[in-house]
Amino acid sequence: MADTTTDILSTTSLDMLHRELGAKMVPFAGYAMPVNYELGVLKEHLHTRSSAGLFDVSHMGQAILNSDSSAADALETLVPGSLSSLKPGQVRYTLLLNEEGGIVDDLMVSRPPSSGADGELFLIVNAARRAADYCYISERLAGKAHLSPLESLSLLALQGPMAAPILEAIVPEVSSMPFMTCLDVDLDKIAVRIFRSGYTGEDGFEISVSNGNVEPLARLLLGYDGVQPIGLGARDSLRIEAGLCLYGSDIDTDTSPVEADLSWVISSRRRRDGGFPGADRIQRELIQGPERKRVGLRPLGKAPARAHTSITDVEGEIVGEVTSGCFGPTVGGPVSMGYVIEPIAVPGTMVKLVVRGKQLDAEVVSLPFIPHRYFKGNL
């Protein structure tokens, strides 16, 4: 992607710092964002896997959902997961659904750590979908709950095996935080909300902080040995190796959670009782199986198969399409994800990938390509 001016793009509060650090800036989701820094995508990827990478993800949307009764009950009418069971400081990944059972967006929902009531939830949504999400939620929950976007907040992600030791040196309380929990603390006298979560498959944290304090915080973290700034290029290859979906590529409004291999977000109560958009389709697919399914693909050669590459069976019949693909630096070879018809979605099945007119051998494999290293702790 070529560099671009920012006269029609939004910028995060770290825009000047990115440029100071030598970032190559590209347009993404309406923002000027760093695709890589001086290390380059490959080294940034490997550095995150071996040490700690700092990502600016301030283009993501952050919002509060308030209700006079139960914010969880209100939001449960739009998602297939159970939110009413969330305890203060717990975080849950879930999916906004449309009436056809397609995915409007995937998002993180948490009950604020200090909340003793059920009247408030904290949401983090995808950058490219946040305007649509805010409209979708506000319209459908009118009279039940009120959504307040928090434009005054930025978001950093510190990811990798050294993320916890580095953050613990500043905030000892994070040492015992399990995966998918959050904590309100002062980080070097800066008020932040820390989430133990991320988009790389590594242990790590996402840190919500005011726009005015994000640059001092970023500089503080970058001052630690082992921390390097990481751009969108490595963020993409890291999440593909971890088997994580990108909205608009691997999931969209036509894709159901069952097709996307995200059935685990549907709680047993919701599987039984429904009560969410598209429940008829999703409950049927849970019982009968979907017509297609997201799978991992390992090309047997060196050429990566990227989005929109056709997938055929060994006889040459088209059976699916690649949705994400890259060279996997940790894996040491190409990795892809895509959708294939259900009979093909069995690990070990051989397929062909049509790359530049050539049929290349590949194997259907289980996801993720690399083991997740989340810190589970004591929930």
Residues 110-146 pLDDT 10s: 999 986 667 899 999 999 999 999 999 999 999 999 9
pLDDT value at residue 379? 47
Q: How confident is the model at residue 186 (pLDDT cuts 50, 70, 90)?
A: very high
Measured CA to CA, the distance from residue 304 to residue 294 in angstroms comes to 18
Measuring CA to CA, how many Å separate 264 from each of 52, 123, 336?
A: 29, 20, 21
pLDDT surpassing 80 at residue 323: yes
Topology annotation, domain 292-365: Elongation Factor Tu (Ef-tu); domain 3 (2.40.30)
For the chain, give the mean pLDDT.
95
Strands 91-97 and 52-56: unpaired
Residues 6 or more apart whose CB falls under 8 angstroms from that of 290 comprise 256, 258, 259, 342
Would you say 52 and 162 are in contact if contact means Cβ atoms under 8 Å apart?
A: yes
> What's the pLDDT tens digit per position in 88-100?
999 999 999 999 9
How many CB atoms are located within 10 Å of the residue 253 CB? 16
pTM metric for this prediction: 0.95
- DSSP-derived letter for residue 126 is -
For residue 260, which of 197, 364, 340 has the smallest C-alpha distance? Answer: 340
Give the C-alpha distances (Å, rounded to integers) separating 203 from 164, 192, 325: 8, 19, 23
Q: What is the pLDDT of residues 71-83, one digit of tens each?
A: 999 999 999 999 9
Strand ranges, E, within the chain: 24-28, 31-36, 52-56, 61-66, 91-97, 103-110, 120-125, 146-149, 153-159, 182-187, 190-195, 204-210, 227-229, 292-299, 310-312, 318-328, 333-341, 350-355, 358-365
Contacts of residue 330, defined as CB under 8 A and 6 or more positions apart, other chains included, come to 45, 46, 49, 241, 369, 370
Helix 41-50 to helix 232-241 angle, to the nearest 10 degrees?
60
Amino acid sitting at position 223: G
User: Which residues have CB under 8 Å from 269's CB, separation 6+?
Assistant: 82
Percent of the chain with pLDDT over 70: 97
What is the per-residue burial (b if ≥16 Cβ within 10 Å, else e) of 216-225? ebbeebeebe
- CATH number (3.30.1360.120, 3.30.70.141, 3.40.50.300, 3.40.720.10) of 1-290 reads 3.30.1360.120
Question: Domain locations in the chain?
Answer: 1-290, 292-365
- Per-residue confidence band for 284, with pLDDT thresholds at 50, 70 and 90: very high
Stretch 279-287: mean pLDDT: 98
